[in-house]
Amino acid sequence: MSAPIVEGWAWPLNMRKAHYVRKGTSLCGRMMYLGSHLEPDIGPSPDNCKECQKRRLKEVTP
Ligand SMILES: [Zn+2]
């Protein structure tokens, strides 16, 4: 049994940018997201929220 995805990029309809959501809150702290549609992180994209991107990069960069 695989664990459900609990974090990833969320792009709600009313947002211009995707935010990286973990446990219902974006990394930048500006957005709450309780939906289940999360895209896996595939690297930097111009469509991503800059603050979320920066924090996410810090996590994955040694
Ligand atoms: Zn964000």
Residue 48 has pLDDT above 90, yes or no: yes
18 CA distance to ligand 1 centroid (A)?
Answer: 7
Span from the CA of 35 to the centroid of ligand 1 (angstroms): 16
Average pLDDT over residues 18-36: 92
Q: How confident is the model at residue 2 (pLDDT cuts 50, 70, 90)?
A: low
Residue with more model confidence, 31 or 36: 31
pTM: 0.85
Residue 29 confidence (pLDDT) above 90? yes
Q: Per-residue pLDDT tens for 49-60?
A: 999 999 999 999
Ligand 1 centre distance from Cα of residue 50 (Å): 7
The CA 23 to ligand 1 mean position distance, Å, reads 14
For residue 5, give every residue at least 6 positions away whose Cβ sits within 8 Å of its Cβ, in sequence order, or none: 38, 40
Measured in angstroms, how far is the CA atom of residue 20 from the centroid of ligand 1? 6
